[in-house]
Amino acid sequence: MHILFTKSQNSSETLIKKFIAKGHRVTNFPILNIKPIIIPDINFKNFTSVIFTSSNAIQNLKNIKNINHLRCFCVGEETAEVAKKIGFLNIQAAGGNYKQLCDLIFKNCDNSKEKFIYVRGEFVSNDLEGDFKKQGYTLQSVINYTAEPNLNINQQLIEDLKNKFIDVIFVYSKRAADQLLKIILNYKIVNNLDDCCLNCISINVANTLKRLKWKRIKIFSPGEEELSLL
């Protein structure tokens, strides 16, 4: 199969290697560019636990220190691997989606003792802050990156889509879906997708693109990309 990933190169690296090793052809076009947001250094001494729902949040941390005491909660194994590389020790990974992350934390953390810091991007799919405050947790949110449309379109990718060479497209966010829709419409590829499968991280993401002519649409969880091809 020829598979197209649409997230940043850093967060796709492991996936790309895995799929190439399985004999697939892989193209990665980061449909959104990650841009750091300059923030004051975080004093992790003030918190008991840190939450990451994206590896981009970890990669954009600066001057990381005083973290050995922290419990580090990550949305999935891929994010957990990045956290481990930069020095976090007590890492707990959920199964790859937001609900599993919340369940993991709510079942294992006392809301009267924990003080969380949630490091995230400017645009998120779920209201983690609101959900945690409803459960009585103390949580501070810090935004250390944003995402902008990648306007440097890969012309070979456009040709591959027009010629129906792409078998599967993975889309990881609502904003990425919005931008992919613009590309498809701008380059008049709408009628060239009937042999292509669309794999989306959520129903909300799929709804943006479902009016186009896909072979099929699937919903997958991060870390289960390979299973979604079955």
102-123 mean pLDDT: 97
Domains 2-31+150-229 and 36-147 agree in fold: yes
Contacts of 151 (CB under 8 A, 6+ apart): none
Tell me: the pLDDT tens digits for 124-148? 888 999 999 999 999 999 999 999 9
- What pLDDT was estimated at residue 202? 87
With vertex at residue 45, the alpha carbon angle to CA 67 and CA 128, rounded to the nearest 5 degrees, is 80
Minimal CA–CA distance to 55: which of 73, 74, 71, 72?
74
Please state which CATH class domain 36-147 belongs to: alpha beta
Report residue 165's pLDDT band, with 50, 70 and 90 as the boundaries.
very high
Tell me: the pLDDT tens digits for 170-211? 999 999 999 999 999 999 999 999 999 999 988 989 999 999
Tell me: the pLDDT tens digits for 26-39? 999 999 999 999 99
- What pLDDT was estimated at residue 39? 95
Q: What φ, ψ does residue 103 adopt, rounded to 5°? A: -60, -45
Report the mean per-residue pLDDT for the chain: 93
Q: Is this structure's pTM higher than 0.85?
A: yes
Domain edges within the chain = 2-31+150-229, 36-147
- What pLDDT was estimated at residue 125? 82
For residue 146, how far is the Cα from the chain centroid?
13
**Direct distance between the N- and C-terminal alpha carbons of the chain, in angstroms, rounded to an integer:** 12
Q: What φ, ψ does residue 156 adopt, rounded to 5°? A: -65, -35
Residue 87 pLDDT exceeds 90: yes
Residue 156 pLDDT exceeds 80: yes
- What pLDDT was estimated at residue 77? 86
**Could you tell me the CA-to-CA distances from 135 to 26, 29, 128, 139 in Å, in that order?**
42, 39, 11, 11
- Answer yes or no: CATH 3.40.50.10090 is held by domain 2-31+150-229: yes
Q: CA torsion angle for 12, 69, 90, 66 (degrees, to 10)?
A: 30
Contacts of 15 (CB under 8 A, 6+ apart): 5, 78, 225
CB 126 within 8 A of CB 173: no
Residue 95 pLDDT exceeds 90: no
